[in-house]
Each structure stands twice: as structure tokens, then as C-alpha cells.
Amino acid sequence: MPAPENIPKGTAGMMGTVFRWLVRKPSQKADASVNPLEDPRSAIAFGNTIIFIGIGSFLFWASLAPLDEGVPSTGVVVVESQRKIVAHLTGGIVAEVKVRENQQVREGDVLLTLDATRAQTAYTSTLNEYIAAAAKLARLTAEQTFADRIVFPEDVLAYAREAGRMDLIQAQEQVFRIRRQALTNEQAILHENLSASQSQASGARQQMAARQQQVALLTDELSRLRPLVDEGYAPRTKLFEQERQIAELTSVTSDIQARIAKEVSTSAELRLRILQRRQEFLREVESLVADASRETANLREKLRDAALELDRTTIQAPVSGQVVALQVTTPG
């Protein structure tokens, strides 16, 4: 407030007149019997007059008194509840401040960025793990259905291209080809053995049929030879020779029958082995699919969190407005 000597003379003169008016004696025309201090209306009027004169004097002084310093500017009055506090959830190192105090911004404008080194590393690591796990799950699914090729999800391929990790996709394709070829070769060997066993059984049956036919012919010939031998028209040695041949052929037929039975048993075992190997492969793949599904789901959630953490390193304006109470002005 300016010193008394700095108050303009006109102002001082007017204030002196006002105060003199306040302390002047009551008019002689007033009733001398009435005491103004005991009249409530007079007291109220007196108080209102004092307040009015005080406010008027202050405004008059404020309009004339010189100010040491002043900067004209526009102001925005904002209700406290309308403010949007912008802060990072976990904090970090400020990399760049994009705004200044009282700057007008629009919704979505970048206010500042944090050092994203750690967040980027975590995101990249999790992304690689997710691509590998999801690609493995796609490969196991193809193996489970005995498909000819792997059908990778589009999002996995997009992530792999984005991260430059198509090698993870190619690695699963190579594993798929190796495992599929190994199973195919194993099944082919079993089928080859089955075919060989079936072929041997078929050849043995043909041999047995031929031997049985020979036995039938010799038996028929023996039945006609026996009366001739009994009557002396044929030597008995020939009869014995016929009987010996029939006995040998019968023995050979029995051996062939045993061989056929063995091949039939071998064929049955090979068929069972083929079926069991297929079932073993499916059980193994189903177990791996279950594990890979859980791992992929967990990594998908971790990747989502890592992406959010990386996005939070860029702090944006939630609404359009003015920056106030900026607490960070420099990197670090």
C-alpha cells in the first residue's frame, strides 16, 4: 500500500470531508430528546454507510494508486473437481517433456515420455516367448489332426513379422516335418513288415493247397493200387512208396499250417503295433497341446500387460484443456 504522502491530494481531501461528515454533530432540527445511539434504525443506517464508504474508498484508491509491477493475462477459473490428474502408475525416468505450464493441449496430445528401455526390453522378450509358444501350439494342433501342414494364427504371423522373428515360425515348421517324417517312416516300416507277413502267409497257403492236392491224388491212387497189390497184380513195394509219400506230404502240410498260423499272429501283432503307435503319438501330442495351451494363454496375458506398460511410457492428455501444476519440466 502506498505511503500516506503518495495518496493524491484530491483523494485525501475527499476522505477528510467524509470523516468530518461522520463526526459532525446532529442537526439542530432533529429532536433533541432522541438519542441517535439508542435508535436501532440509526445504528443500522450508520453501519451500512460505513461499509459502503469503506468499499467505495478502496475501489477509488485501487483505481488511482500506482502498482510496482503488473502483467495483463487471461485466466481460466476451473472447478477443482474438473481437473484431470495425469500421473504414471509406477513412475519412471522422464525422457522428454513435450509441454509447458499453462499450455493448451488437445485430447491425445503427448505430454511427456518416459525412458522406455526397460519396458521395451520386457515387451520384446515376452513377445518372442509368446510367438514361440503360439507357434508350437499351432504345430502340435496340426500333429494332433495328422494335418499335412501347420496353419498358424494370423496374429502370431503378424507378431512374428513385426518383431522380425519369422525364424520362430520356420523352426516349428522344421520340427513338424521332422516329427511327421519320423512317424511316417516308423509306420511305413510296420506296414512293410505287415505286408511281408501277409505275403508269407498267402504263399504258405498256396503251398499248403498244392500239398493237399498232392495228398489227395496220392490217396486216390493208393486206394486204386491197394486191390491190385492184394491180388498180386502190383508189387507191394509200390504200395509202401505211395504211403510214404502221403505221410511226407501230410507232415509238410502240417508244417505249412503252423507257418501260416505264425504269420497270421505276426500280422495281428503288427496291426496292433501300428494302432498302438498312433495312439501313443496322439496321447503324447494331446499332453503337449494341453501344456502349450496353458503356456500360450499365460504369455498372452503377460504380453498384454507388457504392451500396456510400454504404452504408458508415452503420457497423453486424457481430455482437452490447459496444463496446470506441471511438476516435471526437464528430463531425468
Lowest mean per-residue pLDDT among 46-60, 61-75, 154-168: 61-75
The SS3 of residue 207 is: helix
Nearest Cα neighbor of 106 from 313, 325, 323 is 323
The pLDDT of 127-147, averaged and rounded, is: 96
**Distance of alpha carbon 270 from alpha carbon 186, whole angstroms:** 12
Return the pLDDT at 121.
Answer: 93
Please check whether residue 201 is in contact with residue 257, taking contact to mean a CB–CB distance below 8 angstroms.
Answer: no
Q: What is the pLDDT of residue 264?
A: 92
Helices marked H in the chain: 9-23, 40-64, 117-144, 154-163, 166-231, 236-311
Q: Rounded distance, CA 167 to CA 131, Å?
A: 10
C-alpha cell at 136: 508350437
CB atoms near residue 113 (< 10 Å): 17
Which string of DSSP letters, residue by residue, matches 258-307? HHHHHHHHHHHHHHHHHHHHHHHHHHHHHHHHHHHHHHHHHHHHHHHHHH
Give the per-residue pLDDT at 30. 43
Contact 144, 289 (CB under 8 A): yes
Q: Which DSSP string do the residues of 102-130 spell out, in sequence order?
A: T-EE-TT-EEEEE--HHHHHHHHHHHHHH
pLDDT at 106 over 50: yes
Q: How far is CA 101 from the centre of its chain?
A: 38
Task: Provide DSSP, 59-76.
Answer: HHHHHHS--S--------
pLDDT over 80 (residue 72): no
Grid coordinates in use for 127? 513377445
Cell 501260416, residue? 260
> What gap in Å lies between CA 101 and CA 316, rounded to an integer?
15
pLDDT in tens, 271-322: 999 999 999 999 999 999 999 999 999 999 999 999 998 888 888 778 887 7
Is the CB of residue 50 less than 8 Å from the CB of residue 56?
Answer: no
List, for residues 7-50, the tens digit of each pLDDT value. 444 444 433 433 343 444 444 444 444 454 455 666 676 677 77
Residue 125 reports pLDDT greater than 90: yes
pLDDT at 327 over 80: no
| Cα 124 to the center of its chain, rounded Å | 13
Euclidean distance between CA atoms 307 and 325, whole angstroms: 29
For residue 6, the model assigns a pLDDT of 43
Q: Which residue has the higher pLDDT, 125 or 331?
A: 125
All cell numbers assigned to 144? 494332433
Q: Is 331 strand, coil or helix?
A: coil
What residues does 96 pair with on adjacent strands? 113
